Amino acid sequence: MKILVAYASAHGTTGEVAEFISSTLAVYGADAIHKSVESVESVKEYDAFVLGTAIHEGIWLRNMLLFIDKFGAELAQKPVYFFVSCIRIVEADGYEHVMKNYMDTKTLEKLKVKNVNAFGGAIQLNEIDWNERWTLGLRYDGTNLQSRLNADYRDWYAIGAWTTSIAKDLNIKPVTSP
Ligand SMILES: Cc1cc2nc3c(=O)[nH]c(=O)nc-3n(C[C@H](O)[C@H](O)[C@H](O)COP(=O)(O)O)c2cc1C
């Protein structure tokens, strides 16, 4: 089974999550590859998709929306799984807030997404320019932003568990030696 893990990432950390998901799916026996959404030229050759985007200003990165505009009709013909990575999730009501406010339900329905999840991301102040600092400072919809900076909230165990559930859902059989 050929699986594309396509990600939209501004600073690379969502790309690393996508790489981890694709390597884990490969351990289960899938022919999985991770690619940035900008670099995908065709989706015809894949049997299933995992899509993931970072969150800026409470919404998905624009490149993910462009990717879905371009390939949405084809994606919807096959199993699609979707995740976001962000920092609001690490607050007390974070998961509920993210699932309620950061998910574009219409688009997810259009893609007939089978399962949606949200994970903590990572944020290093020295990686983001002044424009982004302003945006983050003004538009972050949580509390105590300063204390959340310069930290990596990626929970590899949770990401691995979700990936395992995808492998099961797709009925991927581990490759066994004869
Ligand atoms: C300009 C900017 C705006 C952001 N806005 C939000 C936000 O509204 N809510 C949130 O939870 N995280 C927000 N984040 C945090 C990112 O979603 C998080 O750091 C993510 O892991 C970044 O992924 P990337 O390294 O793949 O770009 C923002 C980050 C930046 C740089």
Q: pLDDT tens digits, residue range 1-45? A: 999 999 999 999 999 999 999 999 999 999 999 999 999 999 999
Could you identify the residue written with the tokens 């390939």? 71
pLDDT digits (tens, 9 = 90+) for 74-124: 999 999 999 999 999 999 999 999 999 999 999 999 999 999 999 999 999
Closest ligand 1 atom to Cα of 154: 21
Could you identify the residue written with the tokens 């919809």? 141
Q: Do the strands 59-60 and 48-56 form a parallel or antiparallel pair, or are they unpaired? A: antiparallel
| CA–CA gap between residue 57 and residue 6 (Å, rounded) | 21
Closest ligand 1 atom to Cα of 15: 26
- Please tell me the pTM assigned to this model: 0.96
Kindly indicate whether the domain formed by 2-169 is annotated with CATH number 3.40.50.360: yes
Which pLDDT score, from 0 to 100, does residue 173 have? 77
Protein residues with CB under 6 Å of any ligand 1 atom: 9-15, 54-58, 85-88, 121-123, 128, 132, 135-136, 139-141
Say whether pLDDT at 175 is over 90.
no
Of 53, 46, 3, 45, which Cα lies nearest the Cα of 28? 3
Share of the chain above pLDDT 90, in %: 94
